[in-house]
Amino acid sequence: MLFRLNGRKAIAFAAVPIFAAPNFADAESRMSAETSLNVVAGRPVKAASVPSPAIKSDKPKRHRPSWIWNLFGFGYVQGDCSSWLRAGEVAPPMTVRRYEEISLCFKGFTSTDKPRLQVFGPGGERVQRPMKATMAVDGGLQWFWYSEDAGEVFRRPGVYRFTVTAAHTVGTSGSIVVKPATESGVYFSFDDPIRPGEAVTGTAVGRKPGSLVLASLYGDERDGKPHPKLRLLKDLEPVKADSNGEGVIRWVATKDLKSGTYVMLVEPFVSGGHECDLSCTVFEVKSRN
Amino acid sequence: MAALDWTVKYTAPLLGVFGALLFGALRLAYVFFYLQLHATPQEVGYGYLEILGGQLPGTAELTLLLTVVMVVACLSIGALRHAIAGRWRAMVSLPGRKALLRLTGRCASASLAVVLACLPMLAWTFGTEAKRGYAVRNIYLKIAGRLPVLAVQAVPADVTWTKPRPPGEPDLASRRCLLYLGQAAGTTVFYDVASEDSLRIPTAEILLTIPMAEGVRSECFAAT
């Protein structure tokens, strides 16, 4: 089960000070982070590439977001159905990037149809068990994967075939072409809380093939007491980004680890200015001790 | 019977006139928002019913909230004045029913005027944000339980032709900085943040994907 970051922003907020540095605060870094941040109902899921402290950018500085966003918020488009596929027709191929949200919207099924969708991977293997649809806002039916869920189902670039079968209406089939991510991002996956032997996985996408993906683990205690600033526990083993520009950092909780709050950071550090969740994740470890 | 006659004779036309005036004031906000994106409210699907239906509840709630705030503020100021003058009994007593109704009516009128005057200004500001590439959709006030403020939309979108590209139509694959504004009468309207122009494409010939993003791609910001 994927971990949702809802309700954890307070902890993430506390984790910021240790990472914050003047070099990160320039307008361009912040903008590139914020503008490519995908949020699912308050759940940040994607990070953008931001120059590390050592790298100077020669791009022109951008403006910061207006003050007005401190007072006002906006409703995200949560899987709106802007275009519809018809039951019984062959759907045109749909192209998405890794970890992009995917929405399939259908019209033409009847209320007694109980349509089910299945997805088959590039090798023909089934990657999505028969899945019920949800009612779309404008009527019709919808299958929707949030970006993290899409990343789990559509695990590698390739052509995925989907079929929709229904009780009383002719089914529909089509294909989803998944391409490597073009924007840098990090997606974390784990069960919360973490227990010894369980893993936290961070998938970095949109990297240069062959480049190193660096990650570190931080703890929230100092001298045995909770501390507002996190301290570095260890640098994790770097991995090389594959030909699709992806690298998976995997850390397994050891038995000797103390219970508490931990943070995994996948470099480069990206901050939206008030959260560390663009490139790091906060999780609880419950040890048996 | 006489009351019914009076209602039919006066109330219905008055409501019509009030609705038209309200529509005019609210539409101004939509015009200010879409003006910056080179579109009109009608082109993106906001007609009389859509604007009144989408905007009226939020406007009413905002007006109500502001009215309450203003009434409380007025009562507090009155109490303060009594306290300064040493009229302690008057300080803790509410004004009479008639005075309270009069005060509420005045505050409600002032609140409505403030809300209707502020909405176009806010719409202009959000239009500027959209023009810069930020997603703007169903704006709400962060305080006071997310009160809806402005039911406009300009959201990042990926668009592809479902058929071979008709001659003379734009190459949508190369347009990577599009904001989806809406659709009406078989035409979908987009705003290109990079080139700062608006596109009108036949709805039936495109496949539209709306990612859940805060803005267009980062390279689009670099282009602006």
Average pLDDT, chain A: 71
Q: Which two tokens stand for residue A253?
A: 């909780």
- Taking a contact as any Cβ pair under 8 Å apart, which residues of chain B between 94 and 123 contact chain A? 122
Question: Shortest Cα distance from A221 to chain B (angstroms)?
Answer: 34
Q: A145-178: per-residue pLDDT in tens? A: 878 888 889 999 999 999 998 888 888 889 999 9
pLDDT band at A245 (very low <50, low <70, confident <90, very high): very high
**What per-residue confidence (pLDDT) applies to B56?**
83
pLDDT band at A275 (very low <50, low <70, confident <90, very high): very low
Q: Establish if A41 belongs to a structural domain.
A: yes
Q: Establish if A65 belongs to a structural domain.
A: no
Q: Which two tokens stand for residue A181?
A: 């991510």
Lowest-confidence segment of A6-15, A113-122, A237-246, B35-44 by average pLDDT: A6-15
pTM above 0.80, yes or no: no
Identify the closest residue of chain B to A78 by CA–CA distance: B212
pLDDT band at A16 (very low <50, low <70, confident <90, very high): very low
Lowest-confidence segment of A159-173, A211-225, A273-287, B49-63 by average pLDDT: A273-287
- CB contacts of A72 in chain B (<8 Å) are 122, 126, 139-142, 149
Question: Shortest Cα distance from A237 to chain B (angstroms)?
Answer: 30
* CA distances from residue B48 to A3, B11, B160 in whole angstroms, order as listed: 44, 20, 31
Please check whether residues A162 and A243 belong to one and the same domain.
Answer: no
Residue A33: pLDDT over 70? no
Provide the 10 A C-beta neighbour count for residue A83: 20
The residue out of A115, A144, A179 marking a domain boundary is A179
Burial class (CB in 10 A: 0-12, 13-18, 19+), B56: middle
Identify the closest residue of chain B to A38 by CA–CA distance: B213
A224: amino acid identity, one letter? G
- CB contacts of B204 in chain A (<8 Å) are none
| Higher pLDDT pick, A150 / A61 | A150
CATH assignment at residue A207 = 2.60.40.1930
Of the partner residues A31, A38, A70, the one whose CB lies closest to the CB of residue B221: A31
CATH assignment at residue A122 = 2.60.40.10
Q: Write out the DSSP string of B115-164.
A: HHHHHHHHHHHHHHHHHHTB-EEEEEESSTTTEEEEEEEEEE-EEEESSS
Please check whether residues A135 and A226 belong to one and the same domain.
Answer: no
Q: What is the average per-residue pLDDT within A65-72? A: 70
| Higher pLDDT pick, A82 / A41 | A82
Please check whether residues A277 and A189 belong to one and the same domain.
Answer: yes
Please check whether residues A104 and A45 belong to one and the same domain.
Answer: no
Q: A103-122: per-residue pLDDT in tens? A: 888 888 876 788 888 999 99
Lowest-confidence segment of A109-123, A191-205, A238-252, B106-120 by average pLDDT: A109-123
**What per-residue confidence (pLDDT) applies to A73?**
72
Q: Which two tokens stand for residue A163?
A: 């079929």
Three-state SS at B12: helix
Please check whether residues A163 and A210 belong to one and the same domain.
Answer: no
The residue out of A144, A179, A214 marking a domain boundary is A179
Please check whether residues A198 and A274 belong to one and the same domain.
Answer: yes
Q: Establish if A220 belongs to a structural domain.
A: yes
Please check whether residues A130 and A272 belong to one and the same domain.
Answer: no
pLDDT band at A256 (very low <50, low <70, confident <90, very high): confident
Distance, CA of B168 to CA of A235 (rounded, Å)? 55
A167: amino acid identity, one letter? A
Residue A58: pLDDT over 50? no
Edge-to-edge strand ranges of the sheet holding A141-145? A85-86, A102-107, A141-145, A134-135
Residue A94: pLDDT over 50? yes
**What per-residue confidence (pLDDT) applies to A278?**
60
Nearest alpha carbon to residue A152 among A116, A216, A115, A101: A101
List the end-to-end C-alpha distance of chain A, in Å, as a whole number: 25
Parallel/antiparallel/unpaired status of strands A260-266 and B206-209: unpaired
Task: Report whether A209 contacts A182 (CB < 8 A).
Answer: no
pLDDT band at A77 (very low <50, low <70, confident <90, very high): low
Does A193 sit behind a cis peptide bond, omega within 30 degrees of 0 on the bond before it? yes
Residue A42: pLDDT over 60? no
Distance, CA of A4 to CA of A15 (rounded, Å)? 17
Please check whether residues A38 and A132 belong to one and the same domain.
Answer: no
Q: Establish if A4 belongs to a structural domain.
A: no
Exposure string of B78-89, with b = 16+ CB inside 10 Å and e = fewer, is bbeebeeeeeee
Q: Establish if A31 belongs to a structural domain.
A: yes
Please check whether residues A173 and A191 belong to one and the same domain.
Answer: no
**What per-residue confidence (pLDDT) applies to A273?**
42
Nearest-10 Cα torsion for B206, B212, B217, B218: 180
**What per-residue confidence (pLDDT) applies to A139?**
54
- Whether chain A has a CB inside 8 Å of the CB on B161: the answer is no
Size of interface A-B (CB pairs under 8 A): 105
Q: Which residues contact B113 (CB under 8 A, 6 or more apart)?
A: none
Please check whether residues A205 and A222 belong to one and the same domain.
Answer: yes
Q: Establish if A204 belongs to a structural domain.
A: yes
- Whether chain A has a CB inside 8 Å of the CB on B222: the answer is yes
- Whether chain B has a CB inside 8 Å of the CB on A177: the answer is no
**What per-residue confidence (pLDDT) applies to A80?**
60
| Candidates B65, B126, B137, B212, partner chain A, best to mutate (most A CBs within 10 A) | B212
Residue A226: pLDDT over 60? no
* CA distances from residue A267 to A194, A219, B166 in whole angstroms, order as listed: 22, 17, 45
Nearest alpha carbon to residue B157 among A77, A147, A177: A77
| Domain housing A37 | 9-49+183-285
List the end-to-end C-alpha distance of chain B, in Å, as a whole number: 65
Task: Report whether B140 contacts B47 (CB < 8 A).
Answer: no
- Whether chain A has a CB inside 8 Å of the CB on B210: the answer is yes
- CB contacts of B149 in chain A (<8 Å) are 72
Please check whether residues A165 and A191 belong to one and the same domain.
Answer: no
Please check whether residues A225 and A188 belong to one and the same domain.
Answer: yes
Q: How many domains does chain A fold into?
A: 2
Task: Report whether A6 contacts A282 (CB < 8 A).
Answer: no
* Number of residues in chain A: 289
Q: Establish if A96 belongs to a structural domain.
A: yes
The residue out of A135, A164, A179 marking a domain boundary is A179
**What per-residue confidence (pLDDT) applies to A270?**
60
**What per-residue confidence (pLDDT) applies to A57?**
36
Distance, CA of B141 to CA of B94 (rounded, Å)? 31
pLDDT band at A67 (very low <50, low <70, confident <90, very high): confident
Task: Report whether A263 contacts A218 (CB < 8 A).
Answer: yes
Nearest alpha carbon to residue B218 among A66, A117, A81, A47: A47
Q: Establish if A269 belongs to a structural domain.
A: yes
Predicted confidence pLDDT, tens digits, chain B (224 residues): 677 787 777 877 888 888 888 888 889 999 999 999 999 999 998 888 888 887 888 888 889 999 999 999 999 998 898 888 888 887 778 888 898 999 999 999 999 999 988 899 989 999 998 998 888 888 888 776 667 888 888 988 878 777 677 777 788 878 888 999 988 888 899 999 988 889 998 887 777 767 656 778 766 765 54
